[in-house]
Structure 1
Amino acid sequence: MAENLNPAVTAPAVIELRGVSKMFRTASQSDRAVLEGVDLTLREGEIVAMLGKSGSGKSTLLRIMAGLVGADRGEVRFRGSRLNGTAEGIAMVFQSFALFPWLTVQQNVELGLEAQGVPKAERARRAEAAIDMIGLSGFNGALPRELSGGMRQRVGIARALVTQPDLLLMDEAFSALDVLTGETLRDEMLDLWESGRANIRSILIVSHNIEEAVMMADRIVILSSDPGRIRAEVRVPFPRPRNRDAAQVRALIDEVYMLMTSPAAPEPRVPALAPSRQIGYRLPDVDISQMDAILDLLSEPPFNGRADLPHLADEAGLTDDDLLPACEALQLLQLAHIERGDITTTETGREYYAAEPNERKAMFGRQLLGHVALATHIRRELEASEDGEVGEEQVLRELEAFLKPEEAERVLSVAIDWGRHGEVYEYSYNSGMLTLPREEQEEAGQAGE
């Protein structure tokens, strides 16, 4: 399919999204947007990669395109007709493999054909061909538990390819695999695409990996968060296979890093209060040890306080899925600053790096209270309560005005871990109660005597 490297806008549309929005109902019975006003067209002969951090709605958008969930507003058209539910011609590969453990490789691959009513003999023939095409010949009778992670994902891909879809949707399909296996499978998918043997017209890849997107895609779509909107599109003009070390490829990777880490322009109707100053801000799921390790690496030679993010990722041996959330946390706490794809330690970050462990904890607590609205809110609630205690259920109810319940739990868990480390508050896993630090409670008790 090399002749279709960068399809013209006149190439036939495979799927079109117009003004697609998706809402969720909060605990306070108000609606909040997961996606808002998404316009996107995938045309024949192109691979599109979609990037965006947590809360951007990537997986939700993918499921709308697959017909697994419906849009609340807007329209999805597949091959010119309105999409209502799942459709033949659209197949999806999941991160979790999603295989039936009691079925053999052959039986798992045949499932989609069986749902389409394909006769048994034809199902067997096509499944065998797909299994052979994806490099699993001889494993037809194996059960998923007998296969490695890479082999299980090959089964998931074969199950999608056997239906000969016009549109293949891949949801973090390589992220659960080790780096080498993921790269091998990615290259084999590109070989299938270029050869045309899989008869796929268009591929959409949801990914956290910026380099993977640049190496695979003809076009990269970047979503903003809360709600998810398309904030940028980047054309990838290089022929495949691509050399990741080529200067032009590295420059494009840098550009995408810059777009991923730059703040989105605010909408006119969004309140002046920055999202990071709201209690419902989606705190990145990062351990303090990760932040410390990156800040330590950044502060030492060869970086000496400033680094290009792709270079830092290579030096640290981290994926974007690990690096970007940690860098976001460092910026949130104002220990580092990110601009145009570069990260620089702040003056506070340099002081933090030079401090002893106990002083680091105290500094972390001060930065937390100064810059993370949820931690500040919890602390104020504790100080205002008569007994210096607040139940986590109360905080969760407040968060669910902004976030889905499972996301509220995740965000509160991060805030608890950060607050305990900074000795801003304590938490009992047995009672589910947040409390003021014991020393402060004792001082308050002595003052009241």
Structure 2
Amino acid sequence: MLLEARNVAKSFQSYPVLRGVDLALREGEIVALLGRSGGGKSTLLRILAGLIPPEEGEVRFRGKRVEGPVDGMAMVFQTFALFPWLTVLENVALGLEARGLSKPERERRAREAIALVGLEGFEEALPKELSGGMRQRVGLARALVVEPEVLFMDEPFSALDPLTAEGLRGDLLDLWVAGRLRTKAILLVTHNLEEAVALADRALVLGGTPGRILAEVPIRLPHPRDPKDPRFQALADRLYAELTRREEVERRVEEVAYRLPEAPVGALLALVETLGRLGGRADLPLLAEETGLATDHLLPLLEALGLLGFAKVAEGDVELTPSGLALAEADLARQKELFAEHLLRRVPLVEEVRRRVLAQGRLREAEALEALQVRFPQAEARRVWRRLLEWGCFAGLFAYDEPSRTLYPPRAA
């Protein structure tokens, strides 16, 4: 056992993010951590790395309680976070200065790490002279140069184009399989289910609010793994199913009635029309392929369709309801009518706002945000407000004046 989390909990401004999380990381394994956007994956990773403290529970590394950053763990972030005025060599060597190593030793180890990630010859280049994939390789070298036993990776490939991401994933896996890394375990946060199946020895599904580990899926395929292998596809399908378990979907529908999923109207209508074209029903892998959407972007859209009563989602499948089929076939004017009907019937927050607008004749944004901040932290309240505003204005339930930041009754009323 390298790393263990026991009953970890965390809240921000009294808003629960994690509760009762247990997790173990053992030598010789890559573990993928999956979950919905905003579900607490990155927060959990930072708690494990000692960057932020848990409110409850504890994290132990090599049997010792983690109470801050410790030697033996390093992190690769989604953003490259390089110092633009430093060369590749200087960026990589920077993490060694606090260890009291001499400059020649720091430079030697930095050059070794740079060569390991395939950037030999670019030591004197500045970040602005590198492609996105090369900058992420620098980030990886900067983490590896301190020779961590545990390497945390927070969606390290998501900012890259698909081809570059595939190449970097393959190179990392080659180094791991060949035993060229001193790292003994990797914990990878990802929203890409195929990436999890390609790299990991097991996958953990984080879900719920507050977040907790809902499922653990072993991945016992030899490397290299072929995405076209039926066993590969079966594992990806199982992860989709775990992310959309019926009881979890039903609980989420109740929860998001006030939180509102990150689901723009245009994307919702496009998804409904795609499902209509597929006969009103599809499994999530097919839907992801048809739409080109990653899991992290697809799931909030499906949550919104479930909340609004336009689709049913469970166990990796999605099916349009009769109302969803009508929405897929309607013209824009009828789509707005259907959207308005379902918003008022199924989203209490929209109905509350509309009632206040009609009763008062207007509703200032500041007043609405103040009310939302009773339920949510400030940043979450603003996100919910933006979604509520977009949905309600599209449906014609109220009108928004940008200069005054005020809602008014619909102009047609």
Q: Pick the TM interval, shorter chain.
A: over 0.9
Using the TM superposition, name which of 362-371 and 99-108 deviates more. Answer: 362-371
**Residue of structure 2 aligned with 1:213, choices 181, 191, 196:** 196
In structure 2, the partner of 1:132 is 115
In structure 1, the partner of 2:408 is 435
Distance 2:120 2:377 in 1: 43
Distance 1:402 1:117 in 2: 48
Distance 1:126 1:373 in 2: 59
Distance 1:331 1:275 in 2: 9
Percent identity among equivalent residues? 49
Q: 1:126 to 1:297 in 2, by over 3 A?
A: same
In structure 2, the partner of 1:412 is 385
Q: What is the deviation of 1:69?
A: 0.5
1:185-196 matched pairs, under 5 angstroms? 185-196=168-179
1:29-178 matched pairs, under 5 angstroms? 31-178=14-161
Asked if 1:231 is matched to 2:214, the reply is yes
**Residue of structure 1 aligned with 2:6, choices 14, 18, 38:** 18
Q: 1:239 to 1:99 in 2, by over 3 A?
A: same
Distance 2:248 2:68 in 1: 34
In structure 1, the partner of 2:180 is 197
Q: 1:291 to 1:255 in 2, by over 3 A?
A: same
**Residue of structure 2 aligned with 1:294, choices 253, 267, 271:** 271
Distance 1:66 1:236 in 2: 24
Q: Per-residue CA shift, 1:361-397, capped at 9, x if unaligned?
A: 1111111222223212211222332xx2112222222
Asked if 1:421 is matched to 2:394, the reply is yes
Q: What is the deviation of 1:274?
A: 5.5
Q: Per-residue CA shift, 1:56-109, capped at 9, x if unaligned?
A: 211111111111111111111111111111011110011111111111111110
Which letter does structure 2 place at the counterpart of 1:14? L
In structure 1, the partner of 2:343 is 368
Q: Secondary structure at the match of 1:439?
A: coil
Q: Which runs of 5+ in 2 are unaligned?
A: none
Q: Per-residue CA shift, 1:299-349, capped at 9, x if unaligned?
A: 11xx21111110121122222232222222222212111121011111001
In structure 2, the partner of 1:397 is 370
Distance 2:255 2:372 in 1: 10
Which letter does structure 2 place at the counterpart of 1:239? P
Q: 1:274 to 1:400 in 2, by over 3 A?
A: farther
Q: Secondary structure at the match of 1:17?
A: strand
Asked if 1:251 is matched to 2:224, the reply is no
Does the aligned pair in 2 maintain the 1:56–1:229 contact within 8 Å? no
TM value normalised by structure 2 = 0.96
Does the aligned pair in 2 maintain the 1:277–1:371 contact within 8 Å? no
Does the aligned pair in 2 maintain the 1:396–1:412 contact within 8 Å? yes
Does the aligned pair in 1 maintain the 2:151–2:185 contact within 8 Å? yes
Distance 1:32 1:352 in 2: 35
In structure 2, the partner of 1:443 is none
Which letter does structure 2 place at the counterpart of 1:323? L
Q: Per-residue CA shift, 1:240-279, capped at 9, x if unaligned?
A: 211111111111111111111225559xxxxxx9554467
In structure 2, the partner of 1:325 is 300
Distance 1:114 1:228 in 2: 37
TM value normalised by structure 1 = 0.88
Q: 1:174 to 1:107 in 2, by over 3 A?
A: same
Q: Report how many aligned residue pairs link the two structures.
A: 413
In structure 1, the partner of 2:332 is 357
Which letter does structure 2 place at the counterpart of 1:117? G
Q: Secondary structure at the match of 1:55?
A: coil
Q: What is the deviation of 1:165?
A: 0.4
Q: 1:208 to 1:148 in 2, by over 3 A?
A: same
Distance 2:111 2:375 in 1: 48
Q: Per-residue CA shift, 1:288-308, capped at 9, x if unaligned?
A: 2211222112111xx211111
Q: Secondary structure at the match of 2:2?
A: strand
Distance 1:393 1:232 in 2: 41
Does the aligned pair in 1 maintain the 2:257–2:346 contact within 8 Å? no
Q: Secondary structure at the match of 2:17?
A: strand
Q: What is the deviation of 1:200?
A: 0.7
Asked if 1:377 is matched to 2:365, the reply is no
Q: Secondary structure at the match of 1:62?
A: helix
Does the aligned pair in 2 maintain the 1:55–1:282 contact within 8 Å? no
Does the aligned pair in 2 maintain the 1:21–1:34 contact within 8 Å? yes
Which letter does structure 2 place at the counterpart of 1:38? V
C-alpha RMSD of matched pairs (Å) = 1.7
Q: Secondary structure at the match of 1:255?
A: helix
Distance 1:333 1:199 in 2: 50
Q: Secondary structure at the match of 2:412?
A: helix
Distance 1:278 1:49 in 2: 26
Q: Which runs of 5+ in 1 are unaligned?
A: 1-12, 26-30, 267-272, 441-449
Which letter does structure 2 place at the counterpart of 1:343? V
Distance 2:257 2:287 in 1: 30
Which letter does structure 1 place at the counterpart of 2:107? A
Distance 1:114 1:263 in 2: 51
